[in-house]
Amino acid sequence: MKIQILGSGCTACKNLHNSVEKIVQTNNIDAEIEYITDIERIVELGVMSSPVLVIDDEIIFVGVIPKDKELEKIIVNKK
């Protein structure tokens, strides 16, 4: 599984990244996690808000940070 967090480096984006790492560890999920702050790469995806969560090249959400339980459910169901 490849998980990407895209954002400007703001607190919300960093918190999302930390939450994703914690969920992956806690659930023993084999995942590559990438935190992307390059605005050009974000724009290439056609999104204009952040943070963005992408799992296996599918945009899961844009501009929101779900609660940890909801985020965990999304990640676990994608594995």
In a 10 Å sphere around its CB, with 0-12 CB exposed, 13-18 middle and 19+ buried, how is residue 65 labelled? middle
* Mean pLDDT of all residues in 15-30: 95
Would you place residue 28 in the very low, low, confident or very high pLDDT band (cuts 50, 70, 90)? very high
* Mean pLDDT of all residues in 11-30: 94
The pLDDT tens digits of the residues spanning 38-48 come to 888 888 888 88
Q: Which domains does the chain show, CATH number per domain?
A: 2-78 (3.40.30.10)
> Which value, to the nearest 10 degrees, does the dihedral of the CA atoms of residues 6, 8, 10, 15 take?
10
* Mean pLDDT of all residues in 61-77: 91
Distance CA 68, CA 26 (A): 12
The residues assigned a catalytic role are 10, 13
